[in-house]
Amino acid sequence: MIFTPPTYLPTLPSVPLHEPVGDFCLAKSLARTTAPDSAAQRAPFVEATIDQAWTPNKIQDRVARVAAALCWSWQLVPGQKWHQIVAILASNSVDTLILSWAVHRLGGACLMMQPTSSAEEIAGHLDRVPPCAMFASQDLLPLAQDALQQSSHSELPLYKLSLAGGVAEPDPQLARITTLDDLIAAATDLPSWDRGALPANEATRRVAYYCTTSGTSGLQVGLHSFSAVLGY
């Protein structure tokens, strides 16, 4: 059976093959809520846990700042070819999306871990798809640390996603782990990372996300998605 959209919906724009999926999603043609003459201005994301609404402009600004912060922290320079992988183990949050789009802007890919996975399963994925760094949300930091210790990457840099509303970390050891906002603050005076266009059809070849299956019907299996596929 073939499903087609209703005729009253606007025509979908062509998926660009020259920019990362995050930049495509934030394009002005898609971010209709930012139009001053929009009859229904509303934020496309509302993060219930911290009661915060995220507008496309706010997301776009944070993506740029995170990209600049990662560039500063990892000593990258504009124009440098960087095709590293960053592991992310996090509960649902808009910062997870923002971080991954910033990594894509630098030329990298993201290894997305399932919060319900065991430390042993995560360690196996880290060994099969070696990342250059790992980010974890506060509630999953112990799991991330266990997974790193069980993998062959125990010295991998570990960062944590910032706590909602600047809440202090109760665990002194975990409080010493650098947060995403710490990186942003350290690079606050640096220029933003220019997006730059991808080479022709690069989006059909560049991996955006490495993901894993749930494992409910057997061992977890790793999958990869390209930017162009995600655009569809």
Q: Residue 163: its pLDDT value, please?
A: 67
Q: Residue 54: its pLDDT value, please?
A: 84
Q: Residue 82: its pLDDT value, please?
A: 80
Query: Pairing relation of β-strands 222-226 and 207-212?
Result: antiparallel
Sheet holding 158-160, edge to edge: 158-160, 133-136, 85-89, 109-113, 207-212, 222-226
| Backbone dihedral angles phi then psi of residue 230, each to the nearest 5 degrees | -65, -30
d(CA 103, CA 196): 14
Q: Domain residues of the chain, as ranges?
A: 21-231
Q: Residue 26: its pLDDT value, please?
A: 79
Query: Pairing relation of β-strands 109-113 and 133-136?
Result: unpaired
Q: Residue 122: its pLDDT value, please?
A: 93
Q: Residue 147: its pLDDT value, please?
A: 96
- Select from 3.40.50.12780, 3.40.50.11860, 3.90.550.10, 3.40.50.720 the CATH code of 21-231: 3.40.50.12780
Q: What is the mean pLDDT of each run of 10 residues along the chain (232 residues)?
A: 78 74 71 53 74 83 91 82 89 90 91 92 92 93 95 94 66 81 86 69 79 59 48 39
Q: Residue 168: its pLDDT value, please?
A: 63
d(CA 46, CA 121): 31
| Backbone dihedral angles phi then psi of residue 208, each to the nearest 5 degrees | -95, -45
Please give the model's pTM, rounded to 2 decimal places. Answer: 0.82
